[in-house]
């Protein structure tokens, strides 16, 4: 005996039809997905508006960040290094 029996062929045909139907059901229509409206809390709504490109507050915060990073990296760190070297390596100790 070679091949499938009648019952096996019928079962395979039914499985193929089920798989085709399942694959066809997985396709999204133009109206899908339907997402619910986002309800943002007050803090999330603030950040949503704040992070929009081109906002005045965003520009001001960016300028403040740039200024702060410049002051920290170009003024405070070098002055700390200079003071450290002066205090511990160059100045004459009174009891030393």
pTM above 0.85, yes or no: no
DSSP 36: P
25-29, 41-45, 52-56, 59-63: segment of lowest average pLDDT: 52-56
| Secondary structure (3-state) at 91 | coil
Residue 14 lies in a domain: no
pLDDT at 24: 93
pLDDT at 96: 52
Task: Please give the residue range of the domain that contains residue 77.
Answer: 56-95
Residue 16 lies in a domain: no
Question: Per the structure, how many domains does the chain have?
Answer: 1
Residue 65 lies in a domain: yes
Residue 69 lies in a domain: yes
Average pLDDT over residues 61-90: 93
Residue 33 token pair: 């997905």
CB neighbours of residue 58 within 10 Å: 14
Q: Reply yes or no on whether the pLDDT at 54 is more than 60.
A: yes
């Amino acid at each position: 005996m070679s091949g499938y029996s009648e019952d096996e062929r019928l079962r395979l045909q039914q499985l193929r039809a089920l798989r085709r139907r399942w694959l066809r059901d997985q396709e999204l229509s133009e109206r899908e997905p339907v997402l619910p409206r986002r309800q943002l809390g007050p803090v999330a709504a603030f950040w949503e508006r704040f992070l929009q490109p081109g906002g005045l507050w965003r520009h001001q915060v960016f300028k403040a960040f740039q200024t702060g990073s410049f002051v920290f990296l170009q003024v405070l760190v070098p002055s700390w290094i200079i003071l450290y070297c002066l205090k511990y390596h160059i100045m004459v100790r009174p009891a030393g």
